[in-house]
């Protein structure tokens, strides 16, 4: 299924009654759909629900700074969330809501075929690799299917809740450097294998 068809299909999704009744719009995702990196957040907040763009509020500002500190930009990535619609009062997404959005995310991953998935916070991390405990596993590499590597990171909202703890910021910057290194290594690997296929043709 092409990307635009998936996006179109979910623009009117009505699987989660409460989210559907409270949302301004479905926030499908933003960025470069050809990117090697897929960032997965938790759920749209108030700004995202209004503007239709993931991570466009305060957390998004921190995320942009972290990307920038690692030499990455929004053009290098595609961002979406574990659930596409804002939970009222920014409550956590429920298990059922995450399940209702499962097929959509699986399809997105198989269309995009990213080389790296960055899971932001516990909900996204659990959704992809079945693990929680982000404070312990952040910045580590996990194998997912089809050679995709997963790097969990602490949610920028946690940094805001910490009162902008400088040690936490440093840790998050280090994790984003790890992400950039993994992406660069994967791209190099791909270029080398394309080159050797070219030679054998």
- Mask: binding to ligand URA, 13-52, rule CB under 6 A, as x and -? ----------------------------xxxxx--x----
Residue nearest to ligand URA (CB): 41
The span from the CA of 5 to the CA of 142, in Å, is 30
Q: Alpha-carbon Rg of the chain, whole angstroms? A: 17
- Strands of 58-161 (E only): list them: 77-81, 116-120, 142-143, 149-153
Residue 4 Cβ vs ligand URA, minimum distance, rounded to whole Å:
21
Which residues 171-200 are close enough to bind ligand URA by CB under 6 A? Answer: none
167: Cα separation from own chain's centroid: 23
27 vs 169 by CB, closer to ligand URA = 27
Shortest distance in whole angstroms from residue 31 CB to ligand URA:
12
DSSP string, 122-141: HHHHHHHHS---HHHHTT--
Buried b (16+ CB within 10 A) or exposed e, 41-57: bbbbbebbbebebbbbb
Question: 52: helix, coil or strand?
Answer: coil
Nearer to ligand URA, 55 or 78 (CB): 55
Q: Which residues pair with 143 in a beta bridge?
A: 149
Site for ligand URA in 51-70 (CB under 6 A): 54-55, 59
* Minimum gap (Å) between residue 66 Cβ and ligand URA: 13
Return the residues of window 83-122 that contact ligand URA according to CB under 6 A.
Answer: none
Looking at beta carbons only, is 42 or 97 nearer to ligand URA? 42
Q: Would you say 138 or 186 has its CB closer to ligand URA? A: 138
Binding site for ligand URA (CB under 6 A): 41-45, 48, 54-55, 59, 81
């Amino acid at each position: 299924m092409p990307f635009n068809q998936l996006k179109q299909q979910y623009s009117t999704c009505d699987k989660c009654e409460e989210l559907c009744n409270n949302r301004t719009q479905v926030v499908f995702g933003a960025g470069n759909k050809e990117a090697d990196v897929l960032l997965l957040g938790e759920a749209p907040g108030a700004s995202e629900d209004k503007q239709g763009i993931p991570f466009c509020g305060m957390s998004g500002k921190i995320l942009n700074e972290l990307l920038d500190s690692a030499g990455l930009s929004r053009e290098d990535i595609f961002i979406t969330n574990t659930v596409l619609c804002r939970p009222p009062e920014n409550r956590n997404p429920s298990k059922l809501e995450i399940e209702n959005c499962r097929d959509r995310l699986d399809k997105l991953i198989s269309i995009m075929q990213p080389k790296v998935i960055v899971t932001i916070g516990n909900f996204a991390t659990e959704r992809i690799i079945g693990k929680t405990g982000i404070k312990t596993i952040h910045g580590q590499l996990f194998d997912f299917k089809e050679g995709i590597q997963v790097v969990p990171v602490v949610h920028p909202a946690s940094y805001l809740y910490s009162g902008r703890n400088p040690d936490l910021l440093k840790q998050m910057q280090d994790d984003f450097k790890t992400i950039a290194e993994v992406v660069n290594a994967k791209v190099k690997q791909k270029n080398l294998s394309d080159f050797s296929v070219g030679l054998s043709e």
